[in-house]
């Protein structure tokens, strides 16, 4: 008896030294035309630089495993993460060790050091690890009711021992850590005595001065309030008053943008205004070391945050974690499949944002709830824009690029090539969808490119570049029979003008019923694993093909009908 497996979706994930550009195949799109006033009209001025692109927002709170070995480089390296916040978390820390330097605290410190080394190696740029001292203490919302909070009754002696012991151990690693004094002290499950109380400020002052003594060059981060100045203005004013009066102002002022919706541009400006009122100047380094609320974890909102952070006064920002903490899902950028972790729409939104390299340029900012940021990079021969909406807009949109004469390296005989990628809010997403790919006449100095928000929470990447994207294709059968063995060739065609180096290919299969998918075996031909050995070099204009063997067991599949879908 032959049975068919339901709705299998096939895809490959490739990684290597050369970053994989977006998309599987070039699909037909609409032709460029004049702007329609009825659409969500966005704009980019390539002739108006606003500063260097620093990748603000390319950070995460936890989201890797304890020893930092997972997830794989193919998911870490393309994101170019530049910030991470963690503090061990899993062992219970100082509290679990009965307020002394025991096995739990040592395990957390070992985890912090291992994670920092892995992340610095995968970053490829300056990387900041913010150590959550409160998590290392054990105040992670799971502490016992009889917890001894630091500086109770004015006695900070045990807290000083904690700081001396743990910071000394971390500094001995040789890693340049930043230290976040305490997380979300407004909440009793993180800080029992209450925010901005005498005990809180005694803890703050003690930590600040001891960190300065033990690690003079380290950056101190705080207050990491859960609420913004827009939500609790007096809380911020009281805090600024204290730290300026006692000369305990941190090197980075941190807050959390996890309200519904905390706009990084507006919130950053509000914090700067409070800092200026406290006599700290017009601009201080800011860190949004948790952002994006639990009920807005979509590709479109992730892209919206990225676009707004690019235009904000923040120095760095980390995505919040709502399935905390040592799960290697990069704070939800990866989704679990029967064959392992795979990227989803959120991952591709930040992957696109990581391509905003070089110089940021002015844009229309936010139109309605739709935000756009863009950058141009002569060395990379491209200009890139990211688009996202915070409220689930659907319907027509367009982006007009002006100032094109300022980027002659994008032009050939007065024309440029534009590609728009749709990033759906789905899991997994192995490749975004090309919805527009055209060579357009730019002799007028501007072009308008149309696209459509097909579903709520779509995100988009817009690329101006003559380098054709690498094309990824595979030949999968329309149906699988049980039992059966199938060969699935996967081809990467390198259409760029540079060689791809150390290309790794893996094949994953997902289904609406994970129990069915778990019964299949996938291996690279000639090996026992689902990832093929790296191809050392794929020259410009060349291609490489690897073959995967998929085996279907003789029985046990629950569902019949439907077909294989290639994406």
Query: pLDDT tens digits for 13-49?
Result: 333 222 222 222 222 233 333 344 457 999 999 999 9
Evaluate if residue 519 carries a pLDDT over 80: no
Query: Are 45 and 84 in the same domain?
Result: no
- Measured distance CA(320)–CA(167) in Å, rounded: 25
Cis bond leading into 223, ω under 30°? yes
* Mean pLDDT, rounded, for 296-310: 98
- Measured distance CA(166)–CA(107) in Å, rounded: 11
Query: Are 140 and 248 in the same domain?
Result: yes
- Measured distance CA(386)–CA(439) in Å, rounded: 20
Place 470 in a pLDDT band, splitting at 50, 70 and 90: low
- CATH code for the domain of 188: 3.20.20.80
Report percent pLDDT > 70 for the chain.
Answer: 86
Query: Are 343 and 408 in the same domain?
Result: no
- Measured distance CA(509)–CA(287) in Å, rounded: 39
pLDDT at site 441: 97
pLDDT at site 409: 96
Does 487 map to a domain?
Answer: yes
For residue 407, give every residue at least 6 positions away whose Cβ sits within 8 Å of its Cβ, in sequence order, or none: 46, 376, 378, 383, 464
Place of tokens 């807290």: 159
Cis bond leading into 261, ω under 30°? yes
Query: Are 452 and 559 in the same domain?
Result: no
Give the end of a domain, one of 438, 464, 490.
Answer: 464
Does 95 map to a domain?
Answer: yes
Tokens read off for 333: 């950028």
Report percent pLDDT > 90 for the chain.
Answer: 71
- CATH code for the domain of 443: 2.60.40.1180
**Digit-coded pLDDT (tens) for 477-504:** 766 777 888 888 888 777 655 677 778 7
- The full DSSP string for 490-556 is EEEE--SSS-EEEEEEEEEEE-SSHHHHTT-EEEETTSSSSBPPPEEEE-TT-EEEEEEEEEE-SS-
Residue of 156, 201, 207, 160 whose CA lies nearest to 179: 207
Does 532 map to a domain?
Answer: yes
Residue of 159, 160, 174, 156 whose CA lies nearest to 215: 174
Does 171 map to a domain?
Answer: yes
Query: Are 335 and 363 in the same domain?
Result: no
Q: Which residues pair with 448 in a beta bridge?
A: 400
Query: Are 299 and 191 in the same domain?
Result: yes
| Average of per-residue pLDDT values in the chain | 87
Which bin fits 293, alpha (ψ -120 to 50), beta or left (φ > 0)?
A: beta
pLDDT at site 4: 27
* Mean pLDDT, rounded, for 269-288: 95
* Mean pLDDT, rounded, for 48-77: 96
Query: What torsion, rounded to 10 degrees, do the Cα atoms 425, 427, 430, 433 define?
Result: -30
- CATH code for the domain of 479: 2.60.40
Which bin fits 315, alpha (ψ -120 to 50), beta or left (φ > 0)?
A: alpha
Query: Are 72 and 218 in the same domain?
Result: yes
DSSP β-ladder status, 177-180 and 359-363: unpaired
Query: Are 310 and 363 in the same domain?
Result: no
pLDDT at site 2: 24
**Digit-coded pLDDT (tens) for 90-140:** 899 999 999 999 999 999 999 999 999 999 988 866 899 999 999 999 999
CA dihedral sign, ordered 124, 77, 385, 496:
positive
Does 24 map to a domain?
Answer: no
- The full DSSP string for 30-87 is PPP-PPPTTSEEEEEEEEEEEEE---TT-EEES-S-TTS--S-HHHHGGGT--EEEE-
Give the end of a domain, one of 430, 464, 498.
Answer: 464
Give the end of a domain, one of 416, 446, 464.
Answer: 464
Query: Are 220 and 136 in the same domain?
Result: yes
- The full DSSP string for 177-226 is EEEE--S-TTSTTT-TT-TTSHHHHHHHHHHHHHHHHH-TTSEEEEEEES
Does 1 map to a domain?
Answer: no
Evaluate if residue 343 carries a pLDDT over 70: yes
Tokens read off for 251: 């090197």
Q: Could you list the residue range(s) of the whole structural domain that residue 450 is in?
A: 40-53+356-464
Q: Which residues pair with 334 in a beta bridge?
A: 343
pLDDT at site 495: 62
Kindly tell me the number of DSSP H helices and DSSP E strands found in the chain: 11, 28
Does 31 map to a domain?
Answer: no
Could you tell me how far CA 156 lies from the centroid of its own chain?
38
Place 560 in a pLDDT band, splitting at 50, 70 and 90: very low
Angle ∠(243,246,249) on CA atoms, nearest 5: 35
How many domains does the chain divide into?
A: 3
pLDDT at site 449: 98
Tokens read off for 217: 């060059």
Task: Please check whether residue 70 is in contact with residue 93, taking contact to mean a CB–CB distance below 8 angstroms.
Answer: no
Write the DSSP symbol of residue 455: S
* Mean pLDDT, rounded, for 259-280: 96
- Measured distance CA(29)–CA(270) in Å, rounded: 42
Q: Which residues pair with 367 in a beta bridge?
A: 370
Place 513 in a pLDDT band, splitting at 50, 70 and 90: low
pLDDT at site 478: 63
Q: How many CA atoms lie within 13 A of 243 on its CB side?
A: 29
pLDDT at site 496: 59
Query: Are 310 and 223 in the same domain?
Result: yes
- Measured distance CA(401)–CA(42) in Å, rounded: 9
Task: Please check whether residue 275 is in contact with residue 329, taking contact to mean a CB–CB distance below 8 angstroms.
Answer: no
For residue 414, give every residue at least 6 positions away whose Cβ sits within 8 Å of its Cβ, in sequence order, or none: 441, 442, 443
Task: Please check whether residue 68 is in contact with residue 328, taking contact to mean a CB–CB distance below 8 angstroms.
Answer: no
Does 142 map to a domain?
Answer: yes
Task: Please check whether residue 289 is in contact with residue 61, taking contact to mean a CB–CB distance below 8 angstroms.
Answer: yes
pLDDT at site 556: 52
**103-123 helix and 157-171 helix, angle to the nearest 10 degrees:** 40
* Mean pLDDT, rounded, for 503-509: 75
pLDDT at site 517: 67
Higher pLDDT, 296 or 31: 296
Query: Are 72 and 100 in the same domain?
Result: yes
Evaluate if residue 279 carries a pLDDT over 90: yes
User: How many other C-beta atoms are found inside a 10 Å radius of the C-beta of residue 359?
Assistant: 17
Cis bond leading into 428, ω under 30°? yes
Tokens read off for 292: 């994006």
Query: Are 397 and 327 in the same domain?
Result: no
């Amino acid at each position: 008896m032959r049975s068919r497996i339901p709705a299998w979706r096939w895809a490959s994930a490739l990684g290597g030294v050369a970053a994989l550009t977006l998309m599987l195949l070039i699909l037909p799109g609409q032709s460029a035309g004049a702007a329609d006033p009825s659409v969500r009209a966005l704009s980019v001025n390539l002739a108006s630089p606003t500063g260097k692109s620093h990748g603000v927002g390319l950070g995460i709170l936890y989201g890797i495993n304890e020893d930092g070995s997972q997830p794989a480089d193919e998911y870490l390296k393309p994101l170019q993460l530049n910030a991470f916040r963690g503090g061990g978390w899993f062992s219970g820390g100082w509290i679990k060790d009965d307020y002394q330097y025991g096995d739990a605290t040592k395990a957390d410190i070992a985890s912090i050091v291992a994670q920092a080394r892995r992340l610095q190696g995968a970053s490829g740029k300056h990387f900041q690890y913010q150590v959550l001292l409160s998590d290392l203490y054990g105040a992670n919302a799971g502490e016992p009711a009889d917890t001894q909070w630091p500086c109770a009754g004015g006695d900070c002696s045990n807290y000083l021992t904690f700081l001396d012991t743990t910071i000394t151990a971390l500094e001995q690693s040789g890693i340049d850590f930043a230290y976040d004094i305490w997380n979300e002290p407004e909440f009793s499950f993180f800080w029992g005595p209450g925010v901005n109380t005498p005990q809180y400020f005694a803890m703050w002052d003690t930590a600040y001065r001891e960190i300065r003594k033990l690690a003079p060059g380290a950056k101190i981060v705080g207050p990491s309030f859960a609420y913004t100045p827009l939500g609790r203005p007096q809380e911020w004013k009281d805090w600024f008053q204290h730290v300026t009066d006692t000369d305990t102002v941190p090197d980075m002022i941190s807050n959390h943008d996890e309200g519904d919706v905390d706009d990084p541009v507006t919130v950053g400006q509000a914090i700067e205004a409070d800092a200026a009122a406290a006599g700290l100047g017009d601009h201080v380094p800011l860190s949004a070391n948790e952002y994006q609320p639990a009920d807005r974890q979509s590709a479109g909102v992730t892209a919206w945050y990225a676009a707004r952070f690019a235009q904000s006064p923040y120095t760095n920002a980390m995505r919040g974690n709502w399935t905390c903490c040592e799960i290697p899902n990069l704070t939800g950028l990866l989704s679990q499949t029967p064959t392992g972790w795979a990227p989803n729409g959120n991952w591709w939104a930040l992957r696109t944002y990581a391509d905003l390299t070089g110089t940021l340029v002015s844009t229309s900012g936010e139109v309605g709830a739709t935000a756009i940021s863009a950058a141009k990079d002569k060395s990379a021969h491209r200009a890139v824009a990211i688009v996202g909406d915070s409220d689930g807009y659907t319907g027509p949109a367009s982006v007009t690029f002006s100032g094109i004469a300022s980027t002659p390296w994008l032009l050939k005989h007065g024309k440029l090539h534009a590609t728009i990628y749709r990033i759906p809010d789905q899991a997994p997403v192995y490749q975004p969808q090309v919805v527009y790919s055209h060579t357009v006449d730019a002799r007028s100095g501007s072009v308008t490119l149309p696209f459509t928000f097909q579903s709520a929470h779509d995100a988009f990447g817009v690329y101006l570049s003559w380098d054709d994207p690498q094309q990824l294709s595979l030949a999968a059968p329309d149906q699988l029979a049980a039992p059966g063995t199938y060969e699935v060739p996967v081809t990467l065609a390198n259409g760029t003008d540079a060689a791809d180096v150390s290309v790794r290919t893996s094949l994953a299969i997902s289904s609406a019923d994970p129990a069915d998918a778990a019964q299949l075996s996938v291996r690279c031909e000639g090996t026992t694993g689902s990832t093929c050995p790296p191809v050392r070099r794929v020259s410009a204009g060349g291609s490489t093909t690897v073959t995967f063997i998929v085996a279907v067991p003789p029985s046990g599949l629950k569902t019949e009908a439907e077909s294989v879908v290639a994406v």
